[in-house]
Amino acid sequence: MGRSFHIIVATDLARGIGHNGQMPWQLPEDLRHFREITATAEVPKQNVVIMGRKTWESLPASFRPLPSRMNVVLTSDLTYPLPEGVMRMSSLEAALDWAETQSNVDQVFVMGGGQLYAEAIQHPGFDRLYLTLIAQLFDCDTFFPAYEGLTREVESGRILTSVSGLQYRFVTRENRR
Ligand SMILES: NC(=O)c1ccc[n+]([C@@H]2O[C@H](COP(=O)([O-])OP(=O)(O)OC[C@H]3O[C@@H](n4cnc5c(N)ncnc54)[C@H](OP(=O)(O)O)[C@@H]3O)[C@@H](O)[C@H]2O)c1
């Protein structure tokens, strides 16, 4: 079946996650949180981050590949150019199967975007959902799927206020299966 994995996402109050190929908000505390969760691995292993091709393209060139993590980009384009060291895979299943064979892999994270999240949350290997809930509505064209019925909350963080003034909290949920 391939190995289990976690999902990490930041959403607004309507589960919005993106607009015109970018994140709709500036939330530096969430970027830090994302790095802490996805880059912290049991030494000497590393975590894997799996992303859709559009999310890869949304990352500023100077930020990709994401350091200290094995980057996997999903695309149906077998010739899609990627820098050395970044894996190109043609399905989530293939990426999970590959991760299972790597002895130096600690945890696996699916990091978006909308199309990949929709598939990942229905996958039997989905384990934990790391959610940043932003207490505001933004203009979005990409959304995270409904997750309340599929997951249960295991940690509901307290409400925090960003330097940008946005209110948000870090929530952890797990697959109900
Ligand atoms: N708020 C957040 O936490 C967060 C996180 C990540 C992304 N985002 C936002 O989400 C938006 C991008 O999401 P999106 O839904 O448009 O695109 P996406 O899921 O990032 O990428 C879609 C593309 O990835 C490839 N792909 C996805 N699933 C695949 C699979 N199972 N097998 C093979 N290829 C697969 C396909 O590439 P090909 O067309 O090349 O075949 C597909 O067109 C951006 O606005 C981004 O900023 C937000």
The protein residue with its alpha carbon nearest to ligand 1, atom 15, reads 114
Residues 152 and 173: their CA atoms lie apart, in Å, by 5
- Give the model's pLDDT for residue 3: 84
Among 44, 128, 48, 59, which residue's Cα sits nearest to residue 95?
A: 48
DSSP 79-142: T----TT-EEES-HHHHHHHHHH-TTEEEEEE---HHHHHHHTTSTTEEEEEEEEESS----SE
CB 55 within 8 A of CB 64: no
Residues in CB range of 76: below 8 A, 6 or more apart: 90
- Give the model's pLDDT for residue 1: 55
CB 72 within 8 A of CB 89: yes
CB atoms within 10 A of CB 124: 10
Q: What does each C-alpha distance from 169 to 18, 84, 95, 113 come to in angstroms? A: 18, 36, 30, 20
Residue 13 tokens read as 């109050």
Going residue by residue through the chain (177 aa), what tens digit of pLDDT does each one get?
568 999 999 999 999 999 999 999 999 999 999 999 999 999 999 999 999 999 999 999 999 999 999 999 999 999 999 999 999 999 999 999 999 999 999 999 999 999 999 999 999 999 999 999 999 999 999 999 999 999 999 999 999 999 999 999 999 999 998
> What residues does ligand 1 touch, defined as CB less than 6 Å away?
9-10, 17-18, 21-23, 52-55, 58, 74-77, 90-92, 111-116, 119, 142
Residue 130 tokens read as 């790391």
- Give the model's pLDDT for residue 177: 85
The residue range of the domain holding 25 is 5-175
- Give the model's pLDDT for residue 92: 98
Which residue of 37, 82, 115, 147 sits with most ligand 1 atoms within 8 Å of its CB, as the best mutation to test the pocket? 115
Counted domains in the chain: 1
Where residue 131 sits, what CATH number does that domain have? Answer: 3.40.430.10
